[in-house]
Structure 1
Amino acid sequence: MHKALYRVYRPLKFGDVVGQEHIIKTLKNQIDNNNIAHAYLFSGSRGTGKTSTAKIFARAVNCLEPHDMEPCNECKVCKGIISENIMDIIEIDAASNNGVDDIRELRENVKYPPSVGKYKVYIIDEVHMLSQGAFNALLKTLEEPPSYIIFILATTEPHKLPPTILSRCQRFDFKRVKLCDIVDRMKVICEDMGIKVEDRALNLIGKNSEGALRDALSILDQCISYTCDEVKYEDVVELLGTVNTEFLFNMTDYIIDQNTKMILNLVNDLVVWGKDIKHFLDELIDHFRNLMICKVSKEVDEILAFPDEIIQSLKSQSERISTNDIMRIINILSICENDMKYSSHQRVLLEIAIIKISQPMLDDNKDGILSRLEKLEKQIASGVKLESTSSKSNSTEKISKEDKKVSIKIQSSDKIKKIWPEILDYMKKDKNIPTAAMLKEAEEFVLEGKTLVIVFDDIYKFHKEALSKESTKEYIKKVVSSVTNQDLGIKLSLKSELMITDTSNHKDEGLEILESIFPKEIIQIKHSDKDI
């Protein structure tokens, strides 16, 4: 039977424990000075070595031939503890033994001295899972334990422990393991196993472990099973899928850059890989929460339990986005998360939320307006001259007067497409950047008589709806008129909504439009059951 990698390479000595030097030094000094406490609390995130350190400490205090305060792992006591043939070391899983009766049984067994070693050590894992009654039963034993008893309580959530328990324990907080230490440990293991591995692959595994060495070894174990004799970066990416730390950073970069196309591509990758959309949404919210902490706190290291490399990446990314934008994004994602509880269209809701957060001009609530104002303030601060105008109409008229253009005869959609950048430039000069930004995503243009139909891909439904307001359409009409010197009506449409119908008054024009979209060979227009 295969034995998990983290079990095969579980630390057997204090020197094997990775990234917890501050704790190891204290424990070894206590053994050396015979200053051993009766109760310890080992707290910290998963996979950081709490239980392993507790077991090493239990052997070290009972070892017959210790060397430099390390257990020898060779004497009969050490071997007996490792093989679990000596009952002086008792491990209790509080998640499944959390009742009052379980702790009362423990209190009865405490009365009996160790059978072989010097100390009887109780290791209670996930101690925060004990019931209130069980805590009360444990408290009496912690207050007045026999001299030969040592309690080691391990937990990932120390805040759930009663103050009465906390005050009776020496607390040791296990840090998340640094990325470089995780990578170095995996290299040693791979060399020992004769496995070739790319440094990039180890770094990716380390980043996704989020400081938990056990998680890193579990991922490495899976990668070795997948690739057999050589672990490559591409294999790790394929095995992990897309929801990993690197994916979250990439997604956030595209959100900050307002690159909607790439964001939707990543969402598609998410679905293709079969990842849980709601779980991803939770992780994305957590990621923006971490960015917010980096923006508002100077003591980031104490709040965020991540390796230094990830914290540095978070700090760098947080410099590219404002606090207001982060809060706006968290609010939108949180609303989306709540809506998902009542909808079977999780992907659609996620895509809508993603488009909203990447396009602040589509967000009409207070946070969206503040985001646009903040961007405007930055433009002013950078020296951009903003001219006061009484209305869009006046501003457009001023542009047309200052930059006189020769009248452009618009006869086809191709000509509109050619002068479209000029129309967008006019809007930018007019300080109407949001409108220009949304119109930039227009896919094609269709002339219906004297009406210009601006067509968007269906993924830009928000753009179409935002631009369909009468005041906005009127502004677009005036800008187009200013550039072309032609009075054209404006209509916004999605590709799926585009319906071109033939009328008796515009047969030639209708044919021209159809021929610009479809090959002439397949066009057959019927009127009153007769081919035209």
Structure 2
Amino acid sequence: MAYQALYRTWRPQKFADMVGQEVVTKTLQNALRTQQISHAYLFTGPRGTGKTSAAKIFAKTVNCLHPVDGEADGTCEVCQAIDQGTLGDIIELDAASNNGVDEIREIREDVNYAPTLAKYKVYIIDEVHMLSTGAFNALLKTLEEPPANVIFILATTEPQKIPATIISRTQRFDFRRISASEAYERIVYILQQRGNEYDEKALKVIANAADGGMRDALSILDQALSFGDGQVTLDNALLVTGSVTQTLLGDYLKAVATHQTDHALAELTKVLAEGKDANRFIEDLISYARDLLIAHEAPDLVNLVPDDNFNELLQKEEQLWYQMIDTLNEVQQQLRFTNRPSIYLEVLTVKLSRLELLTQVEAQAVQTTPANQSAEEPAQPVEKSVMLEKTVTPTKSNSTSTRDKSNVKKASIDKRHVFAVLDAATRGDLNRMEGVWADVLAQLEVTKKAMLNTAKPLAASPDGMVVGFDFEIFRDKTFRDETLIQFLMEQIQTLSGSEHERALVLITNEEWSDLRSTWVQQHHVKQSKADVEQAAQPAPEENAIDLPEDEAPAPVVQKAREMFGADLVEVHAD
């Protein structure tokens, strides 16, 4: 006899064999026991969780001649015919390949004929969401009022695609994902029945990789058995699933948690060299961080076997693992849209190794924010902000600029510091920075160049420059890379011919529009006050010559034209 896949050989034959769906099986058994049988059911849930198996078991049990406590006896004439696939009263239809109106019309005609051997004709329509609109409309009336001896069971992984008029005519059962522990127990049972040798650690790897699907777990187990010649070892399971060993995960996380970026990148290189899947690697990291997070509160729920790395990482603050899981989730979403996952993993490694440092920077920023002003609100103009005077640019006194280099930081991500640059910014400085930016990027290595390709100069003054990024993650990584910041400043100074380095203010492009508008409004308010004071002065002599308004633009208008270009500035009367 030809070999049959494990998920087919060990498909549940009765409700008691189903894994992880106790609520569904108990409800269906009670309905069968009390003969409260509906005419239509809808089984929904992730792939491989037992929807089709439950439908077949229900069809067998409802037609069994001698059911026992809501279970088919498996020995009667009907049960044997169903097991052998020779009973024509159980009709299975794949809606993915039979989704037209004609197929549904055939069902509408067939339901009028009585069953040949069974008590009920049962129509099992798998992937029902694939039916066309016309097919759903054709099924609607029949599904609402079928003959008394007809039962419909609809199965789908995407219930949101099914019309509400169909759902309202069925009893809905939601199948949940199968937990790793439940999948593990089922795999152990199957291997014991088969007499195969196995490593418990390998089975846990397979159960975790199945991601809630029992069919996926058995398919992976099938591969591991074939690869290991009937044995399931940890190495084989890791190779088949693309997972990473616990030791390697522990070494990687220990490196990033202790800010050893170079060592963490070396561990990542090992992972990539072995051809491991990027998504699976991040999933493994999330699982490891999750175990570290709950180890103190619920040790029984930890999936990993604690080792030296695990025990050492347990000493870290829980906040680190919260942040790490959030960061891993973000990058996992981004991996879906790239063909170069290795770059994202390298960026991820650097970011994870600086999580604690970033937290400290953010905490300091919060502490320096005035109590009556939120971190998201722009600060007052530079001359009223002590923080800006010490951090980004020099203060102005009698129109003379002084610069205390000991108080100037090389880079900032505080949005309030944009105002300090704008106060002294000119269009000429911005043009020069735009001209040298591409030349600066050309000298970077591939990974850093790819990251900074999403950034561009937005405003520049003799002492500073505002750089806008498309993505916050790249902005943060650039800010934390002191070597990169120093290189950028040196190259900008060299290529632009400046006498001194420019401080960099790093923001996202989403923030730029609001910050620019706020700066213009603040300066407009200042000019309005100046106009009031001027109006209070004595009237000019009669022979004084007044310049036309268009020949003497207001200072704020002149400043805006210098910064953004005359072609981009429009003046509207209040």
Query: Shorter-chain TM-score category?
Result: 0.5 to 0.7
**Matching residue of 2:166:** 165
Cα deviation for residue 186 of structure 1 reads 1.1
**Matching residue of 1:17:** 18
Cα distance in structure 2, aligned partners of 1:117 and 1:159? 33
Cα distance in structure 1, aligned partners of 2:214 and 2:17? 12
Tell whether 2:483 aligns with 1:464.
yes
Tell whether 2:347 aligns with 1:353.
yes
**Matching residue of 2:43:** 42
Change (3 A) 1:330 1:178: closer
Letter in 2 for 1:239: V
1:118-162 CA-partner distances (Å, limit 9, x unpaired):
101011111111111111111111111111111111111111111
| Secondary structure at 2:134 match in 1 | helix
Change (3 A) 1:378 1:230: farther
**Matching residue of 2:364:** 376
Cα distance in structure 1, aligned partners of 2:170 and 2:285? 32
Letter in 2 for 1:349: I
Cα deviation for residue 465 of structure 1 reads 2.2
Tell whether 2:319 aligns with 1:320.
yes
Change (3 A) 1:280 1:234: closer
Change (3 A) 1:348 1:117: closer
Cα distance in structure 2, aligned partners of 1:189 and 1:52? 17
1:5/1:221 contact within 8 Å kept:
yes
Change (3 A) 1:183 1:471: same
Q: Residues 296-315 of structure 1: matches in 2 within 5 Å?
A: none
Cα distance in structure 1, aligned partners of 2:388 and 2:122? 79
Q: When the two structures are aligned, how many residues end up with a matched partner? A: 381
Cα distance in structure 2, aligned partners of 1:129 and 1:286? 36
1:283-311 CA-partner distances (Å, limit 9, x unpaired):
769969x99xx9xxxxxxxxxxxxx878x
In the superposition, the TM-score normalised over structure 1's length comes to 0.60
Change (3 A) 1:99 1:309: farther
Cα deviation for residue 336 of structure 1 reads 7.0
Letter in 2 for 1:466: I
Cα distance in structure 2, aligned partners of 1:34 and 1:71? 14
Cα distance in structure 2, aligned partners of 1:16 and 1:335? 39
Cα distance in structure 2, aligned partners of 1:138 and 1:188? 41
Cα deviation for residue 170 of structure 1 reads 0.6
Tell whether 2:196 aligns with 1:202.
no
| Secondary structure at 1:40 match in 2 | strand
| Secondary structure at 1:320 match in 2 | helix
Cα distance in structure 2, aligned partners of 1:286 and 1:153? 37
Letter in 2 for 1:198: D
Change (3 A) 1:273 1:140: farther
Tell whether 2:140 aligns with 1:129.
no
**Matching residue of 1:412:** none
Cα distance in structure 1, aligned partners of 2:94 and 2:259? 48
Letter in 1 for 2:170: C
| Secondary structure at 2:172 match in 1 | strand
| Secondary structure at 2:96 match in 1 | coil
Cα deviation for residue 249 of structure 1 reads 9.6
Q: Residues 450-529 of structure 1: matches in 2 within 5 Å?
A: 463-470=482-489
**Range with greater deviation from structure 2 (16-25 or 226-235):** 226-235
| Secondary structure at 2:319 match in 1 | coil
Change (3 A) 1:107 1:191: same
Cα distance in structure 1, aligned partners of 2:160 and 2:45? 11
Cα deviation for residue 217 of structure 1 reads 1.1
Letter in 1 for 2:123: Y
**Matching residue of 1:507:** none
Cα distance in structure 1, aligned partners of 2:130 and 2:317? 36
Letter in 2 for 1:350: Y
**Range with greater deviation from structure 2 (259-268 or 56-65):** 259-268
Change (3 A) 1:28 1:379: same
Cα deviation for residue 240 of structure 1 reads 2.0
Cα distance in structure 1, aligned partners of 2:12 and 2:230? 24
Letter in 2 for 1:181: E
Tell whether 2:181 aligns with 1:180.
yes
Q: Residues 60-459 of structure 1: matches in 2 within 5 Å?
A: 60-242=61-243, 259-261=260-262, 263-265=264-266, 267-274=268-275, 319-321=318-320, 338=337, 340=338, 346=340, 349-351=343-345, 353-355=347-349, 357-358=351-352, 373-376=361-364, 391=390
1:329/1:357 contact within 8 Å kept:
no
Letter in 2 for 1:357: K
Letter in 2 for 1:156: T
Cα deviation for residue 202 of structure 1 reads 1.2
Cα deviation for residue 22 of structure 1 reads 0.8
1:503-527 CA-partner distances (Å, limit 9, x unpaired):
xxxxxxxxxxxxxxxxxxxxxxxxx
Cα distance in structure 1, aligned partners of 2:445 and 2:71? 67
Cα distance in structure 2, aligned partners of 1:286 and 1:130? 39
Cα distance in structure 2, aligned partners of 1:66 and 1:225? 39
Cα distance in structure 1, aligned partners of 2:115 and 2:361? 71
Q: Residues 26-41 of structure 1: matches in 2 within 5 Å?
A: 26-41=27-42
Cα distance in structure 1, aligned partners of 2:32 and 2:144? 22
Letter in 2 for 1:108: E
1:45/1:156 contact within 8 Å kept:
yes
**Root-mean-square deviation (Å):** 4.7
**Matching residue of 1:506:** none
In the superposition, the TM-score normalised over structure 2's length comes to 0.56
1:263/1:354 contact within 8 Å kept:
no
Letter in 2 for 1:117: A
5+ residue gaps in structure 2?
A: 294-300, 304-313, 369-386, 393-406, 413-443, 450-480, 494-574
| Secondary structure at 1:468 match in 2 | helix
